[in-house]
Copies of this chain bind each other. A is one copy, B any other.
Amino acid sequence: MTSEEARRRPPTAQQFVLAELRRAITTGRLRPGAPIRQDALAEELQVSRVPLREALKTLQGEGLVSYQAHRGYFVETLSLADLREVYRIRELLEEEAVRKAVARLTDADLDRLEETQRDVEDAAARGDVLAMATANRLFHMTLFECAGMPRLTRLIRTLWDSTDAYRSMYYGEGGNRERVVKEHRATLEALRRRAADEAVATLDAHRAHAVAELESLLAGD
C-alpha cells in the first residue's frame, strides 16, 4: 500500500478530532487556561470520548494542553517567560536546520520555496491572516525539511505550533505582515547565494521581532 492510498482513506474520528482541537486552540475558540470538558466537546464533535481522549494525549505531548489526573485537560497558558523560552529553543534548533539545509539545498528546493513565498505574499496582500499564518508556516517548514533531519524538523514544528494561539495576534497587524514578506525575501536571497550566516541572521531577526511584538501585546493585557 502506498502512502497515497493511505491518505485517501477516510480519516479516523481521532484524526478528525485532533485537527478540530488544533484549530479551536489556534483560533482562540478554546482559550488558554480553559478546562476541556470531554462530554460537551465529544457531543459537539459527534464522537465518543474515546477518540477525543486519545487526541488530547497527543496534544499534551505537543504542549498544547496540560493534564492532571482526575481533573482533566486544560488549554495550556504560556507566560511571557514561556514564550521567550520557546523562541530561544527554536533559535538553537533552527540555526542547525538552516546550516544543514544550505549545505544540501538543490535548485528544486529553491523553486519550491519561491512558490511558497508567492503564497505568503498573496495572503499578505489580501490581508488574510489565517492564510498568511498557514503559508508562512509552510515556507519555514519547507526550508527546515531540506536539512534532512526529520526529528529536528519535527521538534521545530511542534515548538512552532505550541505558540499558535499567540501568533495570530502578531499577524493581525498589517505592518507585521509586510515585514514578514520582506524578511522572507532577504532569507531567500541569502539562500540563493548559499550564505548560511546571512540566512541564519535574517531568521534570527525575524524571530526577535516577533518576540518583541508579543511582549508589547501581552504587556497590554
Chain A residues at the B interface, C-beta cutoff of 8 Å: 6, 9, 12, 15, 50, 53-54, 57-58, 60-63, 68-70, 82, 85-86, 88-89, 92-93, 96, 149-152, 155
Contacts and interface: CB of A to CB of B under 8 A. Distances in A.
Contacts of A58: 57, 60-61
Contacts of A96: 88-89, 92
- The 6 nearest A-B residue pairs measured at CB: A61-B61, A57-B57, A92-B92, A54-B57, A85-B151, A85-B149
A117 to B, nearest CB: 27
Copies of this chain assembled into the complex:
2
Among A57, A96, A152, the one with the most B-chain Cβ atoms within 10 Å of its Cβ is: A57
Contact of A15 (B12, B63, B69): B69
Contacts of A85: 149-152
Contact of A93 (B6, B12, B82, B89): B89
Contacts of A155: 89, 155
Contact of A53 (B9, B54, B70): B54
Given A53-B54, A54-B54, A152 B89 contact: yes
Contacts of A54: 53-54, 57
Nearest to A149: B85
A60 B61 contact: yes
A71 to B, nearest CB: 10
B63 A62 contact: no
Contacts of A6: 68-69
A40 to B, nearest CB: 20
